[in-house]
Amino acid sequence: MRVLDRLDQLYAIGGGPGANRVGYSPEEDEAHALASGWMEEAGLEIEVDLAGNLFGRSSSAVGIWTGSHLDSVPQGGKFDGALGVVAAIEAVERTGRGTVVVFREEERGCVGSRAFVERGPLPDAFVELHIEQGPRLAGAGAPVGVVTGIVGYARGEVIVEGAAGHAGTTPMDDRDDALVKAARSILRLEEEARAIPDAVATVGRIEAEPGGINVIPGRVRYSVDVRAPDRERLDRLIALAGIDHSHAAAPAEMSPRVIGALREEVEARGLSVVELASGAGHDAGVLAAAGVPSGMLFVRSLNGGVSHSPDELSSDEDVALAVDVLSAVLLRLQADADAAQQHLA
């Protein structure tokens, strides 16, 4: 299958181990050059914007867009981003409709898509095919899944004050141990996050002062990362964690129209529809936040859902099915857009 062969070609850039195409590196440039060549072969009109994002248009109309990114984390996997690009080229070539877009540097904060939405013009709709990067579809026995939204997140630091003291001479009852207090808060946060559906909370870094083996900690700082699929749940977590809103990204909801088109095409293939929220950020979230009706189709991850690793894997059959669904959704959304256009005229 051509899609798989192209994934291999992209994966070979940089020589391994794993994918090494960090945003705006010569390796990402090389991947863009390959994709640009495939788009030309498909008869698409090529354009590159000021941020280096690559477009391949089947017509001059703004229309329906599909695509993803070609940058990777260091020693990343074969499918993250690249699958959505090769599938998009395949779907647009197959249907003769729509535009392929390859956004620059997604992995370090969706740099390309953020630059793009500031300038526009924005598409009528955007569909991104992506590997799930988690174990849920495999757990549900589903080859593909329809994304309902992309989680929002907030990050911050919590400081717990106590009183430093001698580890040998201060009786347990007289202590004000900042680290013990912090430990209780972290355990409470863990319990509370478990009670909120699809929410997650992580403490990844902790520091005790003064940091002596024989000194009761007087002050502790720890980091918090909380994520949830909607504003209400995210706000609850932020309040529970005791952090502020300054380092936060709002959750992005996928468009009911695009979700509907994805659902119908999955059902048309005799599969039950599995819906899920994305715990990772994606370019589709940036477009959705900018007002573009957006949707995502996830492809089942194997190997326990591992991602950002050379062990990242999806099966050939699942990839083929996802490309079929994407092509059909592209046609369906384009037909809707054409009808709306006719209605206006």
Residues that bind Zn ion (CB under 5 A): 80-81
Residues paired with residue 118 on neighbouring β-strands, in sequence order: none
Q: Residue 130: which residues within 8 A CB-CB, separation 6 or more? A: 68, 80, 81, 83, 84, 282, 296, 297, 298, 299
Contact 19, 70 (CB under 8 A): no
Q: What distance in Å separates the CA atoms of residue 217 and residue 309, rounded to the nearest whole number?
A: 38
The least CB distance from residue 83 to Zn ion, in Å, is: 9
Q: Which is nearer to Zn ion, 56 or 285 (CB)?
A: 285
Q: What distance in Å separates the CA atoms of residue 203 and residue 278, rounded to the nearest whole number?
A: 20
The least CB distance from residue 102 to Zn ion, in Å, is: 12
Q: Which is nearer to Zn ion, 81 or 156 (CB)?
A: 81
The least CB distance from residue 71 to Zn ion, in Å, is: 9
Joined together, the tokens standing for residue 207 give 């520091």
Q: Residue 273: which residues within 8 A CB-CB, separation 6 or more? A: 146, 263, 266, 267
Joined together, the tokens standing for residue 153 give 């997140």
Dihedral over Cα of 118, 123, 125, 131: its sign: negative
Q: Which is nearer to Zn ion, 83 or 186 (CB)?
A: 83
Q: Which is nearer to Zn ion, 81 or 285 (CB)?
A: 81
Contact 152, 313 (CB under 8 A): no
Q: Which is nearer to Zn ion, 80 or 132 (CB)?
A: 80
Q: Which is nearer to Zn ion, 177 or 283 (CB)?
A: 283
The least CB distance from residue 158 to Zn ion, in Å, is: 30
Q: Which is nearer to Zn ion, 62 or 280 (CB)?
A: 280
The least CB distance from residue 55 to Zn ion, in Å, is: 18
Q: Which is nearer to Zn ion, 130 or 233 (CB)?
A: 130
* Residue number of the CB atom closest to Zn ion: 81
Joined together, the tokens standing for residue 143 give 């080859």
The least CB distance from residue 81 to Zn ion, in Å, is: 4
Angle at 290 between CA 66 and CA 25, to 5 degrees: 60
Q: What distance in Å separates the CA atoms of residue 104 and residue 112, rounded to the nearest whole number?
A: 4
The least CB distance from residue 69 to Zn ion, in Å, is: 6
In this structure, what DSSP letter does residue 38 have? H
Helical segments of the chain, H only = 2-12, 26-41, 82-95, 111-119, 136-140, 178-194, 231-241, 256-267, 283-289, 316-344
Angle at 205 between CA 170 and CA 152, to 5 degrees: 135
User: Number of helices and strands (H, E) in the chain?
Assistant: 10, 16
Q: Which is nearer to Zn ion, 156 or 281 (CB)?
A: 281
The least CB distance from residue 281 to Zn ion, in Å, is: 8
The least CB distance from residue 286 to Zn ion, in Å, is: 12
